[in-house]
C-alpha cells in the first residue's frame, strides 16, 4: 500500500484522516517516521504555512506528503485570529485562553459571523497541489459543549443551534472545514489513481 506522510505529530488527527482515506493509503504521522525537527510556521497566510510544513517534510524524506493549516476568520475582527488562530492568546497555544480572548474582543460587536478555513498542501509525485475547505457560522455568546478542541465550544455552524463542541465526532466530520478539504483531496486521488 502506498504511504502518505502527514506533516503532523497529532495522532488523533492522523487517525481521523486515515478513516477518511479508508485504506486507500497508509497514513503515517511525523512521529511514525521519526521526524522530530521543529518546523517554523513563518507564513503570512494559511496557504504559506501549509506549504512550508509539506516542503520541509518532503525536503528531508523525498516521500509523498501533505500538511494542513486551519484558521478561524472572524468578520468583525477583520479576519482575525486567522493565521494566528492557535496562538491567539499567546505562544502556549491554550484553547481556553484563546476562546476567552475572542469572546472578550467580540463583547461589543453585534456581527459575530465567522468561518473556519482549512488549507491542505499536498506533494504527490513531486508536484504540489492545494485544497480548501470552509465552514461558515458564528461565534456564540459563551462556550458550550465538551467535545472537539480549539474553538469548537464557541463556534456554531450555519443552520445549527449547537456549537461544534456539542456535536459528536461523526456529526462534526460530516460538515467540518477539515473534512471538506480532505474530501477534495480524496476526490483528487480517485481521479489520479484510476
Residues forming the active site: 69
Check: CB of residue 72 under 8 Å from CB of residue 116. yes
Q: Pick from 3, 130, 112, 108: which is nearest to 55 by CA?
A: 130
Nearest of 68, 93, 72 to residue 17 by alpha carbon? 68
* Cα torsion 142, 148, 150, 155: sign: negative
**Based on the number of CB atoms within 10 Å of its own CB, is 112 exposed (0-12), middle (13-18) or buried (19 or more)?**
middle
Amino acid at each position: 500500500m502506498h504511504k502518505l506522510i502527514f506533516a503532523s505529530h497529532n495522532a488523533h488527527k492522523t487517525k481521523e484522516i486515515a478513516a477518511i482515506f479508508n485504506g486507500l493509503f497508509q497514513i503515517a504521522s511525523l512521529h511514525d517516521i521519526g521526524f522530530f525537527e521543529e518546523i517554523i510556521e513563518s507564513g503570512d497566510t494559511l496557504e504559506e504555512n501549509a506549504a512550508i510544513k509539506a516542503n520541509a517534510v518532503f525536503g528531508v524524506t523525498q516521500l509523498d506528503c501533505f500538511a494542513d493549516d486551519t484558521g478561524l476568520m472572524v468578520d468583525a475582527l477583520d479576519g482575525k485570529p486567522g493565521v494566528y488562530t492557535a496562538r491567539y492568546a499567546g505562544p502556549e497555544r491554550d484553547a481556553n485562553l484563546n476562546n476567552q480572548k475572542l469572546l472578550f474582543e467580540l463583547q461589543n460587536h453585534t456581527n459575530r459571523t465567522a468561518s473556519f478555513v482549512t488549507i491542505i498542501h499536498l506533494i504527490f509525485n513531486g508536484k504540489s497541489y492545494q485544497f480548501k475547505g470552509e465552514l461558515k457560522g458564528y461565534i456564540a455568546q459563551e462556550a458550550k459543549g465538551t467535545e472537539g478542541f480549539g474553538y469548537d465550544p464557541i463556534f456554531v455552524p450555519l443552520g445549527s443551534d449547537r456549537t461544534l463542541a456539542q456535536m459528536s465526532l461523526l456529526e462534526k466530520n460530516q460538515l467540518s472545514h477539515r473534512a471538506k478539504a480532505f474530501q477534495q483531496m480524496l476526490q483528487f486521488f480517485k481521479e489520479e489513481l484510476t
